[in-house]
Structure 1
Amino acid sequence: MQARAKRLLAFVCMTALVLLFSTHNVSAKKTTQYPKSYDLRAHGMVTPVRFQKDAGLCWAFAATSAMESNALMKGLGTYDLSEVHLAYFSLTGVTKPLPGLEGDVLTFTGNKPWYQYGGYSGFATVHLMNGYGAVPESVAPLSMLPSQPSQSLATGHAVLSLTGTKEIKASNKNAVKQAIMTTGALVCGTHFSRNGSAYYNAKTGALYVNKKKNLDHDITIVGWDDNYPRSNFGTTKPKQDGAWLCKNCWGSSWGNKGYFWLSYEDVPSQQDTCYAYEVEKATPSLYIYQHDGGYALYGYEHCTDMANVFTAVSNTTLLRVSNYLEPTSGTLTIYKQDKKNAPGSGEKLLSQHFSTSTTGYRTFLLKQPVSLKKGERFTILFSFDRPTFAYTDYDDIGDWYIDSDITAKSGQSFVKLTDEDWFTDATWNLRMKGYAFLQ
């Protein structure tokens, strides 16, 4: 058996870049010609600037801003989502987890209030994909700090659900532009101090850092100008014109009414991965079959097939599945699982092609609903055209201020690597889910 490969995700906090776990990121190349300048505000696809005040929640403000923008892009309406709700439950966990996540426990271990710590888009993504959803600001407003939301608010109040993410290297200018035009505002990390920065020109609202620095602040990119003058930056200037238009979360009295320009050549942000969020209106009756409640992101290289096995909790109509994938393609198959044999050995209920061009969570609508009876075991199986990386959760996240513990069981998730047989383990689960209506 090949050794587990550990991937690393960048973790943005208010004071430093903390490396927790690793991810590989590939962005699809586009040949589309893009306009010289673009501004989502001109198309009504950005919500108002918010103010995080003294809370270290820039990452949550950026995530909600991106989700609100995507909702506008999809014609779902205008939302003001709660950053406090997202951050609190992403960092401290849910005491009564959703079905399938029992035993997966997130514990906050910091010695300061939770809202004074930073976070990362990956935390928000896992929490939202686990089915907890985004709630209105009125449910858990910023004004409630230093109090915290009641655990009774963890579920039952979502207005938007996350269906997928696109992770795009900030250095891939065309891919970033493509994502802005198709999905809305993107989360990106920068090096930026609220107490002032030698790299920021306050007169023009322009930021350029010419050396490697810690990513300490999340913002959202909402547009660009290829001809933005290099002369508008501070004492140290980039070599070329051009900048991203960015929305901050320090109120509308800061910068250019809450916005600023970030040079295309800014060194710290070029090392980051941008996040695009795909949302839909929340459907409370939609049941999620899932095993993966942990935050750590590990996995196996050279994966040719992966599968999750579930047991129908009631008469079930399976509608779609999701998975965390690198750019790949292959065949998605649903089986009625034989109890004694490996995945794919039972009755085939559905088979269809799938593909994805960016790293991240992707939800696939089944070409037809799959009906299952209560108690029947079924398998969701992905077979890849070429070996890829199989992402899993894991019972480890490092000695930081959150501790992620999972309860995995052998026989829940299976992986097949090149020239090897299926194997399963009691220390991890695949990031694969099924979405269904129960009868």
Structure 2
Amino acid sequence: MNKFAKIVSIASAMLIVSTTGLSVSAAKVDTIESKNSSEIAIPFTGEGTTLDVDETLPSSYSSKDLNLVTPIRQQGNAQICWAYGGLSSLETLLIKDGVIDNSSNSWYSAAHVDAWGTPRKDGTGWQREYYKGGGFPYITMGYLSSWSGGVSENEFPYTSPLSLFDINKKYNINDVVTGIMYLDSEDKDTIKKSIKDYGAVTTHYNEYSKFSADDTHSYCPAESNYISGHCVSVVGWDDNISKESFTVNIDGKTYTPKKDGAWLCRNSWGDYNDFDGYFWISYEDYYIFSDVFGPSYAFTDYMKNNVSNTIHQVETFGATYEFDYLDEASKDTTYINVLNIDNTNEYLNKVMFESTSVGANYTLYYIPVDNEGTPSSDKTTWKTLKTGKVPYSGYYTADVDPLYVSKGKIGIGVEIDTTDTKAINGIGVSEWLENKDERIFNTEAKRGQSYIYTDKNIFPNIPSLSKSKVNDVMDFYEDVNDDTEGGNFVIKGITYKRGTLAGDANLDGVVNIDDAVCIQKSTIHSYTLSSEGQINADINQDGVVNVKDVTEIQRLLAKVTGDNQ
């Protein structure tokens, strides 16, 4: 399907929701009532993840009851439920893993995500207003996957004006996201297991007063003419919540679910009910986990952030669409990003990419780049970094054996092979979007950033793909769609720096037990390593300073002591 066909399909289903009105291209939507909730819908057309659940799941689970949640938030008149819904799920995962506590000091700043998701000075980015412009789940995922956050609420409070936002300001971001999984909206066990494993999942539903049985029970019985998107963090379930609790009366007609059971949702309206700001929504609600507002997702992986780590990327907004335009012609395509390495002494040890080609074989490559910045078309010059299967739909980070990369430009390739699967071949792309004549997102894509590697004989009628095996994706956009804006791929390289004296965390010129103690204290935030100390502390060179480095220093010290005896 070409770009124009995709844009038409988006426009036919897109709903822009706000507290004051509705701009809509779907004729079925003609009225709205909202309660300080606002989410703009870009329907998710990719493949969600269905997990192979090989365990008996309990009849109920609650991260709330397990105290794995921060205090409830209050969005007030700000239309940023999409920010709170995403950030609170990440908070719950980190609490579950013992990384942060469950106090308000652990809150991430929704205002900072909100400001980040507004237009840049050059016009690129999300075309929405700060505080009241509605939003998308894609904003939060792009923000976190680009390591632009999360920023602490203490550093950028809810009341911060947009004028205080500075895209270049460096914040103290302790933990960065490396994995986000899109969920199969129709598989209940997948959703339950994701909640149990990660503490919470982020999703959306149709919030309207007619669908509320009371302040703690909600049920939309069928596709509705009333559309008011609202984002929440789902933190549990209970198979035994009575279906009678969800009986609603809509325009004189009574509706009750057929079966018991409900999802436990964390809201962002403060302590507005007698359930601490939480509520139940029936399993049979028509819109809960629906794809109409974008994918439901769970944060799966993260890493400790320190000065030795750098993320290299050509896009910072994340995936707004899937580049699957070549699927029908080629089941084996390599997508390439040319990344800038700004410093010396860098080692590539992780590659992040976004794809919905679940189950497809992937191969990661390091690809030399010529003096003009073009990746080599000679595959014999490529270095294989890793092979595997795309484990889930969404953002995935693969660990690779550390590879020294010189200062300058390098190519990172992601080959997706869907030959033996039913998956569509594609990679995430930061591509412009619009609703009818209204622009929603402007890409920052430029020539020389993203490339396609294919057998040139597959596309004899497309000049941009028949002149060479490696071609700038912007040529493809222009030749196929007369599109000069295009997009760039979501492929990121993560590097770390090696220290001058491995293990010397306190910079006293020697490696001894004092360094192990310093590293141990830094993992519980009772000691702050200097920039160089962080680099030295990563003695096993995995890009993370943690207890493994403590163990490695102890092992080395024990060996030295033994050798000296």
Same fold (TM over 0.5): yes
Distance 1:216 1:154, change over 3 A: farther
* Greater displacement, 306-315 / 176-185: 306-315
Q: 2:152, 2:321 → 1: CA distance?
A: 29
Distance 1:147 1:29, change over 3 A: closer
Report 1:7-406 matches (<5 A).
Answer: 13-15=17-19, 18-20=40-42, 22-31=44-53, 32-78=55-101, 79-93=106-120, 105-106=124-125, 108=127, 110=129, 114-144=130-160, 148-151=163-166, 154-193=169-208, 197-202=209-214, 205-213=216-224, 214-235=227-248, 236-272=255-291, 273-278=295-300, 279-293=302-316, 296-301=320-325, 302=327, 303-305=331-333, 306-315=335-344, 316-326=346-356, 327-337=358-368, 339=370, 342-343=376-377, 345=379, 347-366=381-400, 368-375=401-408, 377-386=410-419, 388-398=425-435, 399-400=437-438, 402-406=440-444
Length-normalised TM-score, structure 2: 0.68
Q: 2:378, 2:107 → 1: CA distance?
A: 44
Cα displacement (A) at 1:233: 1.4
Q: 2:81, 2:133 → 1: CA distance?
A: 10
Where in structure 1 do 4 or more consecutive aligned residues deviate above 6 Å?
9-12
Distance 1:154 1:201, change over 3 A: farther
Cα displacement (A) at 1:124: 1.2
Find the residue that maps to 2:454 and give its secondary structure: strand
2:86·2:137 contact (CA, 8 Å) conserved in 1? yes
1:48-82 alpha-carbon deviations (Å, 9 max, x no partner): 21111111111111111011011122221132111
What's the Cα RMSD here? 2.9
Distance 1:53 1:81, change over 3 A: same
Find the residue that maps to 1:429 and give its secondary structure: strand
Q: 1:153, 1:308 → 2: CA distance?
A: 23
Cα displacement (A) at 1:253: 3.6
Q: 1:233, 1:256 → 2: CA distance?
A: 16
1:90·1:123 contact (CA, 8 Å) conserved in 2? yes
Cα displacement (A) at 1:123: 1.2
- Residue aligning to 1:100: none
Q: 1:140, 1:152 → 2: CA distance?
A: 13
Q: 1:377, 1:188 → 2: CA distance?
A: 37
Find the residue that maps to 1:333 and give its secondary structure: strand
2:202·2:231 contact (CA, 8 Å) conserved in 1? yes
Aligned AA (1:318): L
More helix by share: 2
1:104·1:405 contact (CA, 8 Å) conserved in 2? no
Cα displacement (A) at 1:347: 3.3
Q: 1:56, 1:430 → 2: CA distance?
A: 29
Cα displacement (A) at 1:304: 1.6
Find the residue that maps to 2:65 and give its secondary structure: helix
* Greater displacement, 380-389 / 74-83: 380-389
Cα displacement (A) at 1:147: 5.5
Find the residue that maps to 2:141 and give its secondary structure: helix
Find the residue that maps to 2:159 and give its secondary structure: helix
1:219·1:248 contact (CA, 8 Å) conserved in 2? yes
Find the residue that maps to 1:307 and give its secondary structure: strand
Aligned AA (1:51): Q
Aligned AA (2:410): R
1:6-63 alpha-carbon deviations (Å, 9 max, x no partner): 3859777445564446531232243332111111123332222111111111111111
2:40·2:134 contact (CA, 8 Å) conserved in 1? no
Cα displacement (A) at 1:270: 4.3
2:451·2:470 contact (CA, 8 Å) conserved in 1? no
* Equivalent residues, number: 421
Cα displacement (A) at 1:88: 1.2
Aligned AA (1:129): S
1:105·1:294 contact (CA, 8 Å) conserved in 2? no
Aligned AA (1:248): N
Aligned AA (2:426): F
Find the residue that maps to 2:194 and give its secondary structure: helix
Find the residue that maps to 1:170 and give its secondary structure: coil
Structure number, greater radius of gyration: 2
Length-normalised TM-score, structure 1: 0.86
Higher relative contact order (CA 8 A, sep 6+): 1
More strand by share: 1
1:72-125 alpha-carbon deviations (Å, 9 max, x no partner): 2222113211110111112344x5xxxxxxx78226455xxx211211211111
Cα displacement (A) at 1:397: 4.0
1:129-155 alpha-carbon deviations (Å, 9 max, x no partner): 2221111111111133x5653316753
Q: 1:391, 1:104 → 2: CA distance?
A: 22
Find the residue that maps to 1:244 and give its secondary structure: strand
1:51·1:250 contact (CA, 8 Å) conserved in 2? yes
